[in-house]
Amino acid sequence: MGDEKRRKKLRALSGFAVQKMDIKELTDRMHTFVTSKGWYGENSQRPQTPRNLAISLALEAAEILEQFQWSEEVKDRKDLSSELADAALYLLQLASISEIDLEQAILDKLEVNKTREWDQE
């Protein structure tokens, strides 16, 4: 099964409409959500600082690892999907409020990685 067909099938199984979005659109939706919760407010109990977002991102990454604890296989694909989405949202937000163009940063990193060699001893 091709990647696109697999993604459509997974989205259909998860109940999500098939919709493609780019990083900017996802970031905009994330900001809309955070704003609607009042978390960008001056007196928010969840200050959206780079430090706090980095901590939250690390915690979500740990929750992704938990999906593989004691097993080489995913325990629950729906849970893994949710944890990956949480991590991605924190990553988008951290990049955005740190004024980092994440899309460009990824493209730049891919170019750097083309010249790197791993496991060459």
56-104 pLDDT, tens digit per residue, is: 999 999 999 999 999 999 989 999 999 999 999 999 999 999 999 999 9
- Indicate the DSSP class of residue 37: T
Domain total for the chain? 1
6-49 pLDDT, tens digit per residue, is: 656 655 655 555 578 899 999 999 999 999 999 999 999 999 99
pLDDT at 92: 98
Q: Is residue 8 part of a domain?
A: yes
Identify whether the C-beta of residue 73 lies closer than 8 Å to the C-beta of residue 33: no
- Indicate the DSSP class of residue 52: H
pLDDT at 20: 85
pLDDT at 72: 93
Neighbours of 43 (CB within 10 A): 6
Neighbours of 74 (CB within 10 A): 12
CATH of the domain at 14: 1.10.287.1080
What is the residue range of 92's domain?
3-100
Please give the model's pTM, rounded to 2 decimal places.
Answer: 0.79
Q: Is residue 117 part of a domain?
A: no
Residue 120 clears pLDDT 80, i.e. is over it = no
* pLDDT bucket at 4, cuts 50 / 70 / 90: low
Residue 50 clears pLDDT 90, i.e. is over it = yes
Interaxial angle between packed helices 102-114 and 77-97, expressed in degrees from 0 to 180 and rounded to the nearest 10 = 100
Q: Which residues contact 119 (CB under 8 A, 6 or more apart)?
A: none
Q: Residue 96: which H helix or E strand, with range? A: helix 77-97
CA pair distance 7, 3, nearest whole angstrom:
6
